[in-house]
Structures are given as structure tokens and as C-alpha cells.
Amino acid sequence: MGEFKFITTSSPHIHSGESVQKIMFNVAGALLLPTAAGIYFFGMRALVLVIITTLAAVLTEAIFQKLRGKPITVWDGSAMVTGILLALNLPPGLPLWMAVVGAAIAISLGKQVYGGLGMNPFNPALIGRVFLMITFPVQMTTWINPVDGTTGATPLQIMKMQGVSTDYVKLFLGNIGGSLGETSALMIILGGLYLLYKGYIEWRIPGFYLGAVAILSVILGRDPIFELLSGGLMLGAFFMATDMVTSPISRLGKIIFGIGAGIFTVIIRFYGGYPEGVSFSILLMNAFTPVINRYTVPRIYGEVKVR
């Protein structure tokens, strides 16, 4: 008996013209803005780090799919985006071999072990970053000052240890220590606005994420502008919390996801041992995504509850 393929979706069927490859390359294009800022402030070492993690991510995906006997799909651009995102979450001076390990973990343990693109419950780039933070804590917290190239603390570390804030203009432009792609709020916002314009991300997750952090900061007596502009909050809100695979699908679910990520970020930043909490907060909300989807998916028109 021959093989048949059945399409079970209801009509009408209209193709938007979008594809995974088109979306991923647009996301990669938006990421070029914070990447350019990182190269400007931290030099060519930052560009090398981005290239290395991207190549390692793509190669890991190809090897993994080859070993599983699956079609190699690296040209869809998803592994490339994971590699770039991971690089933007790393200290500019991180040894290159550690970056390669992080990219391999991101793709293998963060994506391929679940079956590949669309199956992963957690953001792969954040899996790679958290693995590196746990395994190489010293190297992952050694920050470079873009002014003189010396090592120093990030604005969040200075605030946590000394209670001293950093100039808003420096935080907005990116002339501060931190991960390669998180320092320039300006470039991240421009990239995020491009994705919003293209319709590849939805405003509710970044809007409620940033709003929750700002409101809780005011309630708890902190500076909301400093909290919004410092650390990886902007990068996480626009580029990682909005991941189509690991975030809720309904509007209400996206609101809950954004507020939850904001609450976790504030708890970790203000009361935890880490000065930053974006990576852990997004991963925690990734874990809640199936439950959020279960209880927030809109009821089908005409559907009634069984009594």
C-alpha cells in the first residue's frame, strides 16, 4: 500500500508567505545591531566570539542530526540564531574553547535531545549560558571595561556591592562593562522594534516583562530606570523571552509569562546571590509555559463545557 499524507487542519488555508528560514534570518539581522555595539565597545575579540559560537552551534546541529539519521536543517538559520544569542550573553573576554562548549551544550542539550526545532521546552541559548555560569563561574563573571580594556564590575554588581548607580546615558548607549550584547539598550530596543514591526514578536511579553520590573522596582524603593537599562533585561525581554517555541501562544498567556519573568528577575536581583536574574527568570517561565498554555488557550467558538 502506498504512503499517503493527510492534512487535517480546517479550511480556509492561506499561506502567509513566512518560513522558518525567513524569520530566523530576520531575527539574525535584528541581532546585528547589539552585535555591532558589542564590536564597537569591546573590539574585534567580540566579533571572533560571535563567529566561533555561531559556527560551533551550526556544526553541532549538523553532527547531531547526522548521528540521528535525520535531514540536516542547518540552513533554516535556527542554530545560527542560537549561536549569536549565546555570544551576546557571554563576557567579551571568555576563552574561545569555553564558548564552543557552551554552543555545543545549547544545541545538543537545549534543543536536539528534545527532537529538534519546535520541540525544545527551554531557550537553547540560555541553557548554554547557564551551563557556562555553573561550570566556569570565574570566567563567566570577568567583565571588561570598554573604556580602558581593564577588568571591572558591571553596573548591577556595583549597585549590589556598593549601592552606587551608573549614569543613564552610559547604560543607554552601552559604554559599560557586561556581556557582549547586553550593554547597549539603544541598539537592543532598535532591533526589538524591527521585530515588532515585522510581526515576528508580540509586544505583550516584553511590555509586561519590562513593566513588571519597573513597577516592582518603584514599590521596593529601587531606581526603575537603572533596573530597566542595566544587565541583560532588554536583551532578554525582546530577543529571548519572545522565543516562539518556548513562550505561550495565547495573549493572556503572554501577559502572564511577561509578568512572571519580571517577578522572578526582581526577586533574584534584589534578594538573591546573583546581581542579575534574567536568564534564570526566563528559563523558569519556560517551564511554566505548558501549564500556561493549558489554561489560557481561548475556547473554540461554539464549544460548551460538558456538564
Give burial (CB, 10 Å; 0-12/13-18/19+) of 68.
Answer: exposed
Summarize pLDDT for 25-57 with one digit per residue, the tens. 999 999 999 999 999 999 999 999 999 999 999
pTM above 0.85, yes or no: yes
Across all residues in the chain, what is the average pLDDT?
A: 91
Residue 7 has pLDDT above 80, yes or no: no
Could you tell me the three cell numbers for 84? 549569536
Q: Which residues pair with 151 in a beta bridge?
A: 144
Cβ proximity of 61 and 74 under 8 Å: yes
Q: What is the predicted pLDDT for the residue at 127?
A: 97
Assess if CATH 1.10.3430 describes domain 20-294.
Answer: yes
Summarize pLDDT for 165-208 with one digit per residue, the tens. 899 999 999 888 899 999 999 999 999 999 999 999 999 999 99
Residue 5 has pLDDT above 50, yes or no: yes
Closest-CA residue to 120 (of 70, 90, 78, 181)? 78
Could you tell me the three cell numbers for 177? 562593562
Q: How confident is the model at residue 227 (pLDDT cuts 50, 70, 90)?
A: very high
- One-letter amino acid of 138: V
